[in-house]
Each structure stands twice: as structure tokens, then as C-alpha cells.
Structure 1
Amino acid sequence: MELILKETIDTLGEEGDIVRVKGGYGRNFLIPQNKGVLATKANLTLLEKEKSAIEARKSGQR
């Protein structure tokens, strides 16, 4: 299952990364806790539009 991370998770990646996880981990933990969304075409399009805002937040945290 491929997800787009909505926040940084130490063991997976940073906000905006597209990651592959096992189905149960995605369905039962990441998606319900609003830490990730499915990597559908619509969500990937939204990610591209928000990429600059994500990069600004990342640089502000460092």
C-alpha cells in the first residue's frame, strides 16, 4: 500500500514523502490517526500543489 505522509515519522520518512507500508499498518494506524493518506491520483495532484508549502515548513523546522 502506498501512502503520502502528512507528518514526519522517524521510521518512515518526512511530510510529503510517498512511502510503501503493509496494508494493516496503513489502514489501522496511519490513516485513522491522520498521519497519511492513500497515494491516489487526486491526492498526488494535491501534493504537487502543496509541495512548496511543505518545503517551507521543512526549512523552518531546521
Structure 2
Amino acid sequence: MELILLQKVRNLGNLGDKVTVKPGYGRNFLLPQGKAVRVNAANLEAFEQ
């Protein structure tokens, strides 16, 4: 699962990094806590600005 980090996550990356994680980690931890968003055209464009 590819995600864009919204904040620094220890042992994973910093704000704005595009990372690949296991689906369970992304779905159960990063996405619900607001630490990341899914990679899609709209999110990539928003982060490039």
C-alpha cells in the first residue's frame, strides 16, 4: 500500500514522504490516526504545492 505521510513517523519517514507499507499497518494505524493519506492524483498534486 502506497501512502503519503502527513507527519514524521519513527522508522518510516518524514512529512511528505511517499512510502510503501503493508496494507494492515496502513489501514489499521496510519490512516485512522491521520498520519498518512493514500497516494492518488489529487493527494500528489496537493503535496507538490
List, as ranges, runs of 4+ consecutive aligned residues in structure 1 with deviation greater than 6 Å: none
Task: Give the aligned length.
Answer: 49
Q: What runs of 5+ residues in structure 2 fail to find an aligned partner?
A: none
TM-score normalised by structure 1 residue count: 0.77
Higher RCO by CA contacts (8 Å cutoff, separation 6 or greater): 2
Looking at secondary structure, tell me which structure has more helix per residue: 1
CA-based RMSD of the aligned residues comes to 0.5
Looking at secondary structure, tell me which structure has more strand per residue: 2
Name the CA distance, whole Å, in 2 between partners of 1:13 and 1:29: 15
Q: What runs of 5+ residues in structure 1 fail to find an aligned partner?
A: 50-62
Matched residue, 1:28: 28
TM-score normalised by structure 2 residue count: 0.96
Q: Which of structures 1 and 2 has the bigger CA Rg? A: 1
Following superposition of structure 1 onto structure 2, how do residues 1-62 of structure 1 map, counting pairs within 5 Å?
1-49=1-49
